[in-house]
Chains A and B, each alone.
Chain A
Amino acid sequence: MNFFQSITSALDIVLEKDPTSVIFGEDVAFGGVFRCTVGLKDKYGKERVFNSPLSEQGIVSFGIGIAAAGATAIAEIQFADYIFPAFDQIHNEAAYFRYRSGNQFDCGGLTIRAPSGAVGHGAIYHSQSPEAYFAHIPGIKVVVPRGPIQAKGLLLSCIRDKNPCIFFEPKILYRSAVEDVPFGDYMIPLSEAEVLSEGTDVTLVGWGTQVHVLRDVALMAQEKLNVSCELIDLRTILPWDVDTIAKSVVKTGKLLIAHEAPLTGGFAAEIASTIQSECFLNLEAPIQRVCGYDTPFPHVFEPFYMPDKWRCFEAVKKLVGY
């Protein structure tokens, strides 16, 4: 299965097993602009897989209401770039719903899916990685998978988690990433990072598409510098797995964090400052952050904007040469 098919597979399982579950958003009824909901309306009916009017604040709040009534709501925001009209509903409402009511009411049955990240030519409004905005909101969970197997298992966990979740799907992987995804029902736990390859010299942390960039960087570092990198996929941005990263940095003494989103206020800053205070005595070099620049995401300059493997490789060189 490719990435989008693994999403469909997860949604199919939920619709089949949970009769209260519904899927809605802009253009999901005919299968979605990225084909993630193909066939689901025909299989489960138009009352369960339906188009909404074109309003992101409406989509998220409608989902909050469904979840507050005890049902399962899977809302789609067509591009993560367009999630901002719903920011108030996510931040002031969904995230605080349980807390403010003294746990009388909650909207834990809500999951918001949104395609995110660079796609080669998406420019300003079809490329954004807004996860750091949401990392500052107590009460929600934020998850980014790196491939089809992860996507299905993490999405099923998000949908069944008793808290509102935002699930960002790196859209460049929809067709390009293909793996042997189990057909059955399985879940991958939230708030657990995954060590993809063990190493001894430098810890590399990323999520989403950037994990694949860092995998290349690890190979280059091994070949060209004889440096052994430990590669970690963070997977859940909030609440994030401090222990796995700290444990790795205690071992390697060096940390590189990379993400597509702009540097200033990006989630790498949170990881860097936490690891700096957790692992101060183990750090042998300043933590490196390789990120998008502090500009809007540009159209024709995308190759120069991206935290690509060469920029990350250079950061590894800095770390080992410090």
Chain B
Amino acid sequence: MSVMQRHFFQVYVKSKGLQTCHLINRRVFHRLSANLYSQNPPTSKFDERPEFPGSKSEFISKLKFIDPDKVDGIPVYRALGRDGKILEDSEDPKLDSETVIKMYKDMTLLNTMDRILYESQRQGRISFYMTNYGEEGTHIGSAAALDQKDMVFGQYREAGVLMWRGFTLDQFMDQCYGNENDIGKGRQMPVHYGSKEMNFMTISSPLATQMPQAAGAAYAYKRAKNGLCVICYFGEGAASEGDAHAAFNFAAVLDCPVIFFCRNNGYAISTPVKDQYRGDGIASRGIGYGMPTVRVDGNDVFAVYNAVKSARDMCVAQNRPVLIEAMTYRIGHHSTSDDSSAYRSVDEVSYWDKQDNPISRLRNYMTNNNFWDEEKEKAWKLKARKLVMKSFAEAENRKRPNPEEMFNDVYDILPKHLEEQKNEMKAHVKQYKENYPLEHYDKLF
């Protein structure tokens, strides 16, 4: 009698007359798989196993709590050393020079745009800004590994993904200025980008709300059999929201092809991770929800690329969610409304800026491989700055949209009460026009 037959026989005898055939089959499978994969010896000579529907495991007869402090942390995967050398040949993504140069240029162009827009906010020219310093590698590495048609749900610090996909400097600037060319029609704060054309869902301020939405979109993609997946970015602070829990659980239970990409940069505004969670970061939670999980060095653009590429394959082929936690460091302030020196040391920031930066690491790789040199660097820096300044000046000089746009798109069509309120606004502004900044807006009358 084979192992399988013996187990089937035992179960059958025990449950005879009490259980349906369906249940017996389930139990047999259950026992077999447990026996095949369990590394612990049986704990009872009667070979009794728990039959609780809520879990699949075995009994133990000694009380033992699982102590998270005695479990090793999930390791951080790297492909590229700080010196720009590939650590293991098998992990070299072997990207062609053109792709690597685009990666580098996008990271540095984003960095240049960040510096100029940050300064412009300091000068009061735009109302708000959030930089991406130190996290450019997570954006570009992940974006490069996706299909351009994969849907992106982001938080707000993922502008590099859009840059990789071809969102133009003009489009970034137009959004920050809320001018008449802004696709978002000037309704949201700066850095709340979105692009249907680039499959980048419009950013919203409430944290983590996009996470279960991403799972839902992935479910619809699975049903549409379009061969695409969804990627959802969020910070380690947002992962504390209830929506993060809902997202992980729904995605796992409903088999959604979604990549959850956590940017763990050590801080949520002023809150360090020690005040954010007590477990082993975010990655350790993935396993609890039944998701394949990996932790990567977020300052290593190739490690991020490799992880997302594999995750994407898993998502699309197996219809299941994957969690990636990219370890990085938020080099800039949280936003232009924040002075981070109030809660962390300049030395700490400087270490990450100078010693372990995604841009310099990739540059080392490129120099090692003769893709790049000092001369190219100088020329590109100059060009990037010029391109950004040109877009910036143009965006600043464009008018804001017609104030009537305030009422559109609340619903698909303008309902009667909003039509009336729009007319009321127009009549009022007409009467008191010297009190409203009409000169900055597209013609209302």
Contacts and interface: CB of A to CB of B under 8 A. Distances in A.
Interface string B130-151: 0000000000000000000001
B183 A104 contact: yes
B216 A102 contact: no
B209 A61 contact: yes
Interface stretch (B85-93, B109-117, B246-254, B350-358): B246-254
B192 A100 contact: yes
B223 A88 contact: no
Interface residues of A, number: 47
A143 B245 CA distance: 30
A70 interface: yes
Contacts of A47: 223
Contact of A50 (B215, B216, B254): B254
A294 to B, nearest CB: 27
A100 B213 contact: no
Nearest to B192: A100
Contacts of B411: 98, 139, 141, 162-163, 239
B223 A22 contact: yes
Contacts of A63: 216
A192 B398 CA distance: 42
Given A55-B245, A65-B217, A89 B412 contact: no
A52 B250 contact: yes
B194 A101 contact: yes
A97 B206 CA distance: 12
Nearest to B221: A69
A55 B218 CA distance: 18
A137 to B, nearest CB: 10
B408 A103 contact: yes
Interface string B212-249: 11111111110110000000000000000011011101
B398 to A, nearest CB: 15
B185 interface: yes
B204 A55 contact: no
Contact of B213 (A53, A62, A102): A62
Give the interface size bracket for B toward A: 35 or more
A276 interface: no
Contacts of A53: 246, 249-250, 253
B187 interface: yes
A158 to B, nearest CB: 13
B389 interface: no
B409 interface: yes
B81 interface: no
Contacts, number: 154
Contacts of B212: 57-58, 61-62, 65, 89
A28 to B, nearest CB: 13
A64 B216 contact: yes
B121 interface: no
A104 B195 contact: yes
B18 to A, nearest CB: 23
A66 B212 CA distance: 10
Given A65-B213, A68-B213, A104 B249 contact: no
Contacts of A98: 409-412
A105 B152 CA distance: 13
B202 A104 contact: yes
B201 interface: yes
B376 interface: no
Contacts of B215: 62, 65
Contacts of A108: 412
Interface in B28-83: none
Contacts of B22: none
B216 A239 contact: no
Nearest to B258: A65
Contacts of A88: 206, 209, 243
Contacts of A141: 411
B415 interface: yes
Contacts of B211: 61
Interface string B150-171: 0101000000000000000000
A265 interface: no
B253 A65 contact: no
A141 B245 CA distance: 28
Contact of A105 (B185, B194, B221, B418): B194
Contacts of A50: 254
A102 B182 contact: yes
A52 B412 CA distance: 29
A89 B207 CA distance: 11
A106 interface: yes
18 contacts: A20-B223, A22-B223, A57-B242, A57-B246, A61-B212, A61-B213, A61-B216, A62-B212, A62-B219, A65-B219, A73-B216, A88-B209, A100-B204, A102-B194, A104-B195, A106-B412, A139-B410, A162-B412
Interface of B: 151, 153, 182-185, 187-188, 192, 194-196, 201-202, 204, 206, 209, 211-221, 223-224, 242-243, 245-247, 249-250, 253-254, 408-412, 415-418
Given A62-B212, A88-B206, A162-B412, 10 more contacts: A55-B246, A61-B211, A65-B153, A68-B217, A92-B209, A93-B206, A100-B202, A101-B184, A101-B201, A141-B411
